[in-house]
Amino acid sequence: MAALIVRRVTGDLDEFIATRDAYVAELEARDGIVADREFLPFLSFTTFAAPEPPVYIGLTSGASLPEFGGAAGAVSAEAQGAYFPTFEIEAFGILRPLGDGTPVDIASIAIEPGQVLEVAWHDLSAYDDFDPEAYAEARDAYLAGLASFDGFVEEYQWVSADGGTLAVGMTVYESADAFQAIATDAEFTASEVYSAFVGGYPIAGGYASSSVKP
């Protein structure tokens, strides 16, 4: 399993970074935490500009949901109290990989220099008369089209592990240029598979980002 937390900095950036690092250091010292990553978005899919104030995307994997919960709960009140007031949450979810549940090594995601990680999330409760099979069909057709491009590296699909309605897609691109070329490809963006998924199931939020903590 993995915990996704998307945070918008609400105060001093240096204070956010310092208190985050102290909190994460305590978290990683606990049994049950496998890896912790941090990504810095450079493009919002809502405003189509760099997020301001800054946004950070954290992804932490745990050996199991109970072990993760125990580790998070064991972080000191001092570390939590210093860190939590420095941001507001845009998205949070306890996730598992879509499909057969094969664990994802988050330490290997978008780890190469220059690679871009796209993170986009859907709230499946937001769609009227939601049909899971139609959604899955549209998603899979869109992802097949995406995977056909040069510059596409890998795709990770996640669903809520705790009964929630969050679905998260993570796409790795070779570079910012590759991301831009695919995102603006006229034939793909005009295709039926694109409009069926991107237009039919608007995201709740999303960013293009780069790794700042391998």
Please indicate whether the domains covering 2-97 and 109-213 agree at the CATH topology level: yes
- pLDDT of the chain, 214 residues: tens digit per residue: 999 999 999 999 999 999 999 999 999 999 999 999 999 999 999 999 999 999 999 999 999 999 999 999 999 999 999 999 999 999 999 999 998 778 899 999 999 999 999 999 999 999 999 999 999 999 999 999 999 999 999 999 999 998 899 999 999 999 999 999 999 999 999 999 999 999 999 999 999 999 999 8
List CB contacts of 69: < 8 A, sequence separation 6 or more. Answer: none
Q: Does CATH number 3.30.70.100 belong to domain 2-97?
A: yes
Q: What is the CATH number of domain 109-213?
A: 3.30.70.100
Asked if residue 151 lies in contact with residue 175, where contact means CB atoms within 8 angstroms, the answer is: yes
Domain range list for the chain? 2-97, 109-213
List CB contacts of 77: < 8 A, sequence separation 6 or more. Answer: none
Closest of 209, 186, 188 to residue 198, by C-alpha: 188
Q: What's the pTM?
A: 0.96
